[in-house]
Amino acid sequence: MSVLADIEPVNRESTAGIIARQLRDAIMNGSLPPGTQLGETDLAARFQVSRGPLREAMQRLVSEGLLRSERHRGLFVIDLEPGDVYDIYSARSAIERAAAIRIMRGGDRDRVAAMLDDAVHAMAEADQQDDPAALTEADLRFHEELIEASGSRRLTRMARTLLIETRMCLSALQETYRKSYQGADERVAEHNQIIDAIRQDDEETVLALLEAHMEDAVQRLAPGTSLTSGAAPGLPVGGVDIA
């Protein structure tokens, strides 16, 4: 870990990449609510770039599923339908489960646990200061770090989109979220249990806790839906989705 450890990427990020990241952030924090049309001229002026790089960045988000493109109509931020919360959390459950497995079977568990501790401490701190936004942010940071700690490039890439969509769910259903989930203590406790199980090298418990954590979240956000038993409402019971 010398001072010259991370000077290799002299090549700065591509412009499209920078804009794509900014757009992701804007979608994530609600600056671009679901359904918003992204006018190219406006955005290009806002970013102080031409329409070329901007379009390239937007195409990235299209392939990530954060934008939907209607030909000759424009690009829109996706709006989450009722079944999407189930879809998102079911996918997240799969990703985080795989990440946890990799950590438990080949990672430096203590180091990971320490990093996750930081996130949970931030959660507790946000709770004390009664800052629900910071609490949610720290919550997501916990899961993001869990996945990054797996060392899997693909899990990390896939999770990036899912965590953005998670935040979209949370801000879309903010009122429901607040009302039905008052206890931040439980939230902190749930995450601490996961960390403990990681430290104790108890893979089975880690996976069970993660699954329960996801199940809890789904039932809070979409009451009546369940990851573990049965399909989500609105899911086509008799066949495959069209898209």
Least distance in angstroms from the C-beta of 74 to DNA: 4
Least distance in angstroms from the C-beta of 231 to a copy of itself: 2
Which run of H or of E encompasses 102?
A: helix 82-106
Supply 174's token pair: 């903010």
Q: Does 220 bind a copy of itself (CB under 8 A)?
A: no
Rg of the chain (C-alpha set): 19
Select 33 or 106, whichever has its Cβ closest to DNA: 33
Scanning 40-48, 70-78, 191-199, 216-224 for contacts with a copy of itself by CB under 8 A, the matching segment is 70-78
Binding-site member from 3, 4, 7, 243 for a copy of itself (CB under 8 A):
243
Supply 115's token pair: 């990093």
Least distance in angstroms from the C-beta of 203 to a copy of itself: 11
100 binds, among DNA, a copy of itself, none (CB under 5 to 8 A by kind): none
Q: Does 219 bind a copy of itself (CB under 8 A)?
A: no
Sequence-separated (6 or more) residues with CB below 8 Å from residue 104: 198, 201, 203, 206
- Write b or e for each residue in 139-149: b if 16 or more Cβ atoms lie within 10 A of its Cβ, otherwise e: bbbbbebbbbb
Residues near DNA, by CB under 7 A = 11, 14-16, 37-41, 49-53, 55, 69, 71-75
Contact 150, 99 (CB under 8 A): yes
Q: Does 65 bind a copy of itself (CB under 8 A)?
A: yes
